[in-house]
Structure 1
Amino acid sequence: MNFSLLRLLCRTQQAAFVTLQYLLPHHLLSHLMRGLTRLRIGWLKNLLIERFIRLFNVNMAEAAQPDPRAYPDFNHFFTRALAADARPLAVGEGNVICPVDGTISQLGRLEYETLFQAKGHRYSLPHLLADHTGAVRTFQDGSFATLYLSPRDYHRIHMPLAGTLREMIYVPGRLFSVNPTTVSRVPDLFARNERVICLFDTDAGPMAMILVGAIFVASIDTVWHGTVTPPRRKTVQHWDYRQHPVHLQQGEEMGRFNMGSTVILLFGKDAVTFSDQLAAEGHVQMGQLLGSCANS
């Protein structure tokens, strides 16, 4: 079989995979997955965890609890804590650290109110931010980083900078997969999927951390609210923390995905310069240097 035919078959399979996602009942499947990952039937949860470790080559030596059988259910394993010394933080004046383990999907500057998703696809800042007028103005011509968490990655999310929470917004939506194949083929994917927008004040100015849901991501948690979704709502929900501020230190856990997904970081214009060692498709770990504050 020649190379051209193999490439055609691969493209056909990818197209079929993406097309199927338009037809699947995203939220029903995620609800079922949520139930499965919380079953506490000993032999079943052990089987699921051990197969998952082998399939995705998970490094349990980094976990605070390295024994797979010690977890009460699959979700506790999936959201496992790391050993204290597993992710040293790139501390330093003005440093911005990576909030997650994962792969850089894209990073760079916004073109006014437009973000780059993948080759051939861009999406709008107002749509991503659910038309929050103040936040849209804040991040026009700013910087963004889109970080994809694969199934094998550590799934807790940490603060890139010390910050004070201002607002949290839940935006209902679809649950398309956020893997590279789907991101390259579904227009406006990150602005279509369910998401939780967290707006902070930091030493670099305003910062948004957007936790994007995906198929089989049955739940998104934050440390100050607990589980934000489910339950799933049909309208945008808003929480204002300015009268009851939540302060988080750099590197402190701010949330987690119960199953994997994507984090999008937003900074204001000229607020942050990303490290020139980083590029799309590069692997990153929580705590490594992501960039620096322009005012440092």
Structure 2
Amino acid sequence: MKRRHITSAISQTFGKFASKEFPHWFQNIVNRSYVGLMGLDMSEFHSPETYKSLNALFTRHLKEPRHYSLNAADFISPCDSLISECGTLISDYALQIKGMRYKTDEFLGQNFSDEEKKSIHDGDFINFYLSPKDYHRYHIPTNMKVLKAVHIPGKFYPVNVPSLKKRLNLFIENERVVLQCETMEGKTFYMVLVSALNVGVMKVSFEPRIQTDADVVGEQVYEFKDLYLDKGDDFGCFEMGSTIVIISEKGMFEDIVVKAGDKVKFGETVATLK
């Protein structure tokens, strides 16, 4: 039997601790300590003592819905995050971070055809890094159709900026869920959820069969016929911080209005569609 990478063992151990519901007095200490240590802004959420586990705190929901542009051309951020990198692909090369590039053909895995992979060559990309203090849920960035989801097992290396600078092809090595999407105008883009250390679980609400950080061998493919999702819909969460990469076909975006180093929140317009 193939041995799992040490990063998986660490993530599973932390996941068990985070999921455990301790006695209220102790859980309150754990939650408040985490909020203070990481500097969480809880102004849009319930108070820390209301969450029965650390994982419940990680995956907290907003108390009130956020407002975002209803203009169909406005493509919104799917999460609260740092833009670690963004720009235009050179053929199938995208930037992991400045000076470190990787091939999107490898990033998407083995279950997309050469034609499907070529559809995004010379297109655009935006990397959204969620730190441990960020709101961990993710949302739909534009009215769209989901064609396919592919779960690719892998490692759980940290995805913070120092790690991105040190490890070539980190995005390709880490476990990920690749969503093949289509805008209402028929343009193709991929939204990729990338795991990280202590982020064993990436939940996808519209496909509960996807079980990340599990004993899965090989890529798992899920195809959909008429799965339409609306801008702003909550479709899952990371259990801790991680990264979402959006890669679009050439000409899908009129303009990307963010740059590397920007902090964005879910609902903020990050690009405009043609």
**TM-score normalised per structure 1:** 0.86
Stretches of structure 1 that go unaligned for 5 or more consecutive residues are 1-23
Instruction: Specify the structure having the higher radius of gyration (Cα).
Output: 1
Question: What residue in structure 1 maps to residue 183 of structure 2?
Answer: 202
Question: What residue in structure 2 maps to residue 266 of structure 1?
Answer: 247
Question: What residue in structure 2 maps to residue 84 of structure 1?
Answer: 64
SS at match of 1:62: coil
Question: What residue in structure 1 maps to residue 221 of structure 2?
Answer: 238
Question: What residue in structure 1 maps to residue 211 of structure 2?
Answer: 228
Cα offset for 1:34?
1.0
> Is it true that 1:193 corresponds to 2:182 in the alignment?
no
SS at match of 1:37: helix
SS at match of 1:254: strand
Q: Is the 8 A contact 1:198 1:210 kept in 2?
A: yes
Answer 1 or 2: which has greater helix percent: 1
The 1-side partners of 2:152 and 2:268 are apart by 30
Amino acid at match of 2:219: V
User: Where do residues 121-132 of structure 1 align in structure 2 (5 Å cutoff)?
Assistant: 121-131=100-110, 132=112
> Is it true that 1:111 corresponds to 2:90 in the alignment?
yes
**TM-score normalised per structure 2:** 0.92
Question: What residue in structure 2 maps to residue 170 of structure 1?
Answer: 151
Out of 49, 52, 65, which is 2:34 matched to? 52
Question: Aligned-pair RMSD on alpha carbons?
Answer: 1.4
SS at match of 2:85: strand
Q: Is the 8 A contact 2:87 2:126 kept in 1?
A: yes
Q: Is the 8 A contact 2:68 2:76 kept in 1?
A: yes
Provide Cα deviations, 1:252-287, integer angstroms capped at 9, x if missing partner. Answer: 1122101110000011111113433x2101100000
Provide Cα deviations, 1:165-212, integer angstroms capped at 9, x if missing partner. Answer: 110001111111000000011001111110000111212511211000
Q: Is the 8 A contact 1:199 1:207 kept in 2?
A: yes
Q: Is the 8 A contact 2:144 2:182 kept in 1?
A: yes
Cα offset for 1:232?
3.6
SS at match of 2:172: helix
SS at match of 1:75: helix
Amino acid at match of 2:6: P
Out of 157, 161, 184, which is 2:138 matched to? 157
> Is it true that 1:27 corresponds to 2:27 in the alignment?
no
**Aligned pairs, how many?**
265
